[in-house]
Amino acid sequence: MAKVKTKFACTECGTESPKWMGKCPGCNEWNTMVEETETEVKAIVGRSELHRAKEKAQPIIHIESKKEPRILTGMAELNRVLGGGLVPGSLLLVGGDPGIGKSTLLLQTAYSLSNKGLKVLYVSGEESVRQTKLRADRLGALNDKLYVLCETNLETIEEAIAEVEPDFLVIDSIQTVYRPEIASAPGSVAQVRECTAHFMRISKVNGVATVLVGHVTKEGAIAGPRLLEHMVDCVLYFEGERHHTYRILRAVKNRFGSTNEIGIFDMAEEGLREVTNPSELFLSERPLGVSGSTVVASMEGTRPMLVELQALVAPTHFPSPRRMASGFDHHRMSLVIAVLEKRMGMLLQNQDAYLNVAGGVKLDEPAADLAAIVSLASSFKDAPTKPYDAIFGEVGLTGEVRAVSRAEQRVKEAHKLGFKRVILPETSMKGWQPPKDIQLIGVTTVAQALKAALE
């Protein structure tokens, strides 16, 4: 007779313990340990299968190098983030806030692949087949090679996979799927871990490109054990502001490509539309000739992107001034404010300072430092910036402006959108030829940059 064991597992990180604890020793979160009951089964069969399937170790130079084939999804932005398309047999995890458009994106992708003659199985544990059909009618995603199943039982899903033999599989979502042998509720640590391992085995053995949709916590991380992100080949986050129509698809893990690329979509009535020129989108509502507004030429992977950076500096009556940043690193904001105070003599100790990247974009690279300094100085002096200037460069603690990578691509993007001048590090101007009808202003210090931008 099978032996029943009881253990406690953390819903945040998956740490297991034989007894309940108020604080998880793995992630230090409070009240996240939940009781799980599992049945201990004999491992004789598993060990025998392991011995039969065991491979011998071989020198790495004798292993044949083979480039992974790619399946183009029909959406250029998604192909960019994936590193060139879907890899057969890969396991992907897509996370995002509720209502952000994960199901819409995957249903459109499934339709594009079915149009190419591939069999697609869309398994939904949150919507009925009629609800999925209504969504497909709205998106125009109807094809006889697109199969839909409403099921949460892992065994039934496995039978459907064996019957359909799909080339592309979508599980929406992994938190709703359960394995009957496990006594835990769907969405628990044990269920998510075991079901993901099962889909990983199906994906690798049958060569099926599989996408798992994952719920997120209120902090924005994918719910469930951290082991979930380690098991899959690619982790994608679908981001965006609920009050804006555009969405950003970002890879945080990718075994088959770069994690620096992003894909940008616009949510319309007929579904998600690709944004081929994101710079034009983010600058469409930019006011001209106002203080505190600059345009920074940033890079997202290999894609140049122009974004508006806004600053507001206002007097405060409190002893401790506020420092708030949205879309910009708070620590780098404190750094550039300290440089303005020490190197430029601007008294900001009695001023509240706010930085905002318009459109909800996140600027993570140091190349945005110089634009942040110009925005803050412009708002502090109430001096309007020139409307057709683009700025980029890293700022050091001594007030020097350091070179950044891919200066040529940044300048060409500014030229394409009609900008007249680019303020950039002087050392970044070497080794390439800029366009003819755009002026480059090379600077080596913050003082030179502020003189060129505000005077």
Q: How far apart are CA 225 and CA 24, in angstroms?
A: 13
Q: How far apart are CA 406 and CA 310, in angstroms?
A: 24
Q: Is 99 annotated as a binding residue?
A: yes
Residue with tokens 């979160």: 29
Q: Is 101 annotated as a binding residue?
A: yes
Residue with tokens 């054990």: 225
Q: State the sign of the Cα–Cα–Cα–Cα dihedral 76, 78, 82, 88.
A: negative
Q: How far apart are CA 229 and CA 186, in angstroms?
A: 18
User: Which amino acid makes up residue 395?
Assistant: V
Q: How far apart are CA 79 and CA 84, in angstroms?
A: 5
Is it true that the peptide bond before 173 is cis, omega within 30 degrees of 0?
Answer: yes
Q: State the sign of the Cα–Cα–Cα–Cα dihedral 358, 361, 362, 367.
A: negative
Contacts of 182 (CB under 8 A, 6+ apart): 38, 39, 190, 191, 194
Q: How far apart are CA 265 and CA 287, in angstroms?
A: 24
Tokens for 67, please give them. Answer: 């480039």
Cross-strand pairs, 313: 353
Q: How far apart are CA 22 and CA 406, in angstroms?
A: 50
| Residue among 58, 4, 56, 13 at smallest CA distance from 33 | 13
Q: Is 102 annotated as a binding residue?
A: yes
Q: Is 100 annotated as a binding residue?
A: yes
Cross-strand pairs, 5: 38
Tokens for 148, please give them. Answer: 């839909």
Q: Is 96 annotated as a binding residue?
A: yes
DSSP 3-state of 327: coil
Contact 95, 142 (CB under 8 A): no
Contact 402, 395 (CB under 8 A): yes
The DSSP 8-state label assigned to residue 276 in this structure reads S
Q: Give binding residues as ranges.
A: 96-103
- Binding-site residues for ATP sit at 96-103
